[in-house]
Amino acid sequence: MRRAESGEVVVFDVRPEVEYAAAHIPGAISVPAAELAARLADLPADVEVVAYCRGAYCVLAHEAVRQLRAHDRKARTLGDGMLEWRLAGLPVISGVA
C-alpha cells in the first residue's frame, strides 16, 4: 500500500470487472486479464506493476505478469490475492472508478 501510495508501483486487479466492482484493494486499477493485451499501450511503461487476482491458486495474476514481462514491463504478483487480503482484515472498497 505504501509503495502504491507513493507512486513506486501501480496495482492491477486482473479479475473480471464484476469482481473488481464487488471489492478491491484501495487504489487498484481494474485491468481484467482478458483485456490486458488490448490495453497494453495505455498502461504505464515506467512504473512497476503489481498484479493480483482471487487468491493463492488463481493463475490470472501470474499470466498477466508473464504477458507484461514479455513486453518489457517491470511486473510482479502480489504475494496474496483478494481472498487472503480480506481474511487478513485489510481495507477493501467497492464500486468502479
Q: Distance (Å, rounded) from C-alpha 6 to C-alpha 45?
A: 17
Cell numbers placing 80: 496474496
Q: Distance (Å, rounded) from C-alpha 22 to C-alpha 87?
A: 16
Q: Distance (Å, rounded) from C-alpha 41 to C-alpha 39?
A: 6
Query: 53, 58, 60, 68: which one is catalytic?
Result: 53
Which residue in 58, 44, 50, 48 sits closest to 16, CA to CA? 58
Catalytic residue status for 53: yes
Kindly list the catalytic residues.
53
